[in-house]
Chains A and B, each alone.
Chain A
């Protein structure tokens, strides 16, 4: 029987076990070759140790906690005439010190204020050598940021994928320039007239948007842009010869010194950008925006069933924003005294798309960051030559390939990725074999069962390490009585097995022979015969059962 000895894992240290019953002379055998049983707590410690690698970052937001001013935890003070608090602040008592504290739950207004302040004071820190370049780039940045914020409203909030925003701006700019040059309109009327033109144009372009799906509309508006370009480039009234139309009245006087002119242009564009941000806030953050947040793409039917008239909301936003774009067009004319055909070119649309993509479509901060990046590359790094557009294209491609929604979508994307990875690691950690998988465990009502299975697995792992030829030989020589520690541990485990399918011996009195049977574990159901083999004496039979159990253990 002993030749079926299984090969076990690491070799255990051999030892000689002295039977403590030796002095009384009742021990069957005195000195037994056995193995040193390792500490049984070891597998428990190994299994219950927390092995997942931990990092500092976590899902918890790390808020800065500020001391409260005065004894009050919170107050109802609001900014007249709105119903708003300045910041979303939560008051709380410190659990240890019981002092009143507060934390700012939404810190975005703080960041906005800091960034806008930086932009406002930036002209005073521009280096002398690049002052002119930077100021004119800043003016262009302000105007394009305003356009892109409006465009974000159309593409993000209204989810109308229109590529004709620059066309609206361009048409308004050309027409107002023409009106100002030919009819002598003063500069302050240009944005208003532009706004009406934008409104009219928006209303016309919105008609197909009612019927067409997102990308059909995108392609259509791309064509519209090209149509505007060809129309204005070829018509002689709009200065087809000079590359643009100039001569509008402008709010920047020629008599001022150049620095003052540039500075006025910078701050004019800056104010326009702030105005567009307010427009964004008042459309995206109020009723229209909230309605449309309920009706994202492909879930329109659900929103409609809930009573949301999303088409109306989208077209309203589109028309309002087109009016704003027309206003920007008029402002453009009033700022630069005219407009070039460049505004209709495919490159402008491409760069604009790069601007709103880099920061993340649908967010005002994304539009402004993208505009900043692209403007700095395009207008400040002029000595780079054609590499500028090349690198803008590379950034755009990189953003599209690696980020699901631009720079400001990184946080969300990273969290989603981390959750996915966590799930993967968790499923790697849970090994099978007696132990329950996490998804099974949630369906098991009796959690004791789970703990028992876990413990049982650890115990079996430990006992498997103890099985070796020495203890099998020891058992063969003396199946009953006291054994060495290693064998004793194995035997205890075997004896404690549940009654179901537990091995036992059947003694045939007539022939005085033994057979191995297995209990059914159910009352009234007779045991089954496991093996036809019969044994002459009870010791051999015990050992045969032991070998069987060792086999079962090693295979579990």
Chain B
């Protein structure tokens, strides 16, 4: 195995998981909700894209849009079912986390009942072509995945910086209480946040299904990877999540190059634990400023 090949693979995977990590991160820091339902959002978006590809059109943009919309829909569903009824109740953090887990259980079982246990595959969105750069062959799906996730990330960051809604979300991140005092609706902002992060998870589902299949429980590994990256980068920080995704991607590449594939999780985990012991709130997280809720 060539080292550049491994590194490229790691970057591709890291860019997908990075999307989920940023989604988890934004949800936690703006809403105070630990959303472990992204596994379900992920599978739901994948199945949405699959249904559209089967019944409507296999045109790449349509499939991707179906995935993104499906993810946003699932995110809004979680928001309506868990965040809005619970956000002002006692023990919100624990109950919210368990509620999203329950949604994920229900949703995955529903997908299993409806679509059956057989995995589905999506059409190739990026076609079949390859480019040779500096002696390395880059296939279409790898370039497409990296470019798409970077574009999505840039769009999200721009939207958060430039728009009125983004301003509201950033205000919620800084101080949810003060934000609600100055007239930013917690519930409406919750719906925007969950729709946006759900859309990110949906895109991640479509991108990952270029390599893997769609199954009712396929969202679990991306969720855990995404959560680990978000944790490592500091919950609530987009730049931290990007740095963590790169670090963990490199760890994965180096481990599978020099130690072997089965040690990837162990080394990644050791790296995460080391980072967290040195900086308990992640790479970009501030030590004293935990989100109070």
Chain A residues positioned under 8 Å from B109 (CB to CB): 386-387, 389-390, 393
Residue B81 is within 8 A (CB to CB) of chain A in the complex: yes
CB of B105 within 8 A of CB of A396, answer: yes
Distance (whole angstroms) from the CB of B97 to the closest CB of chain A: 7
CB of A224 within 8 A of CB of B262, answer: no
Which of B34, B81, B90, B231 has the most chain A CB atoms closer than 10 A to its own CB? B231
Residue A208 is within 8 A (CB to CB) of chain B in the complex: yes
CB of B98 within 8 A of CB of A346, answer: no
Quick one: CB contact mask for B159-186 with A, threshold 8 Å, 1 for yes? Answer: 0000000000000000000000000000
Determine the main DSSP class of B at the interface with A: helix
CB of B94 within 8 A of CB of A361, answer: yes
Residue of B nearest to A207 (CB): B277
CB of A396 within 8 A of CB of B224, answer: no
Chain B residues positioned under 8 Å from A216 (CB to CB): 231, 235, 276, 280-281
Contact of B290 among A213, A235, A405 (CB under 8 A): A213
Quick one: CB contact mask for A320-337 with B, threshold 8 Å, 1 for yes? Answer: 000000000000000000
CB of B269 within 8 A of CB of A389, answer: no
Q: How many angstroms from the CA of A390 to the CA of B111 in the assembled complex?
A: 10
Q: How many angstroms from the CA of A231 to the CA of B266 in the assembled complex?
A: 8
Quick one: CB contact mask for A331-366 with B, threshold 8 Å, 1 for yes? Answer: 000000000000000110010011001000100000
Chain B residues positioned under 8 Å from A353 (CB to CB): 98, 101
Contact of B272 among A220, A357, A393, A405 (CB under 8 A): A220
Number of interface residues of B (CB under 8 A): 45
Residue of A nearest to B113 (CB): A386
CB of A234 within 8 A of CB of B262, answer: yes
Distance (whole angstroms) from the CB of A476 to the closest CB of chain B: 58
CB of B220 within 8 A of CB of A346, answer: yes
CB of B231 within 8 A of CB of A220, answer: yes
CB of B86 within 8 A of CB of A226, answer: no
Distance (whole angstroms) from the CB of B237 to the closest CB of chain A: 13
Chain B residues positioned under 8 Å from A346 (CB to CB): 217, 220
Distance (whole angstroms) from the CB of B53 to the closest CB of chain A: 25
Contacts A207-B277, A218-B97, A404-B89; A223 near B235 (Cβ below 8 A): no
Residue B127 is within 8 A (CB to CB) of chain A in the complex: no
Q: How many angstroms from the CA of A161 to the CA of B34 in the assembled complex?
A: 13
Residue of B nearest to A403 (CB): B95
Q: Which of A114-133 contact B (CB under 8 A)?
A: none
Chain B residues positioned under 8 Å from A306 (CB to CB): none
Q: How many angstroms from the CA of A392 to the CA of B224 in the assembled complex?
A: 22
CB of B272 within 8 A of CB of A231, answer: no
Quick one: CB contact mask for B66-90 with A, threshold 8 Å, 1 for yes? Answer: 0000000000000001100110011
Residue of A nearest to B227 (CB): A219
Interface set of B (CB-CB < 8 Å, partner A): 34, 36, 81-82, 85-86, 89-91, 93-95, 97-99, 101-106, 109-110, 112-113, 217, 220-221, 224, 227-228, 230-231, 235, 262, 265-266, 269, 272-273, 276-277, 280-281, 290
Interface set of A (CB-CB < 8 Å, partner B): 161, 207-208, 211-216, 218-220, 222-224, 226-227, 230-231, 234-235, 346-347, 350, 353-354, 357, 361, 386-387, 389-390, 392-394, 396-397, 400-401, 404-405
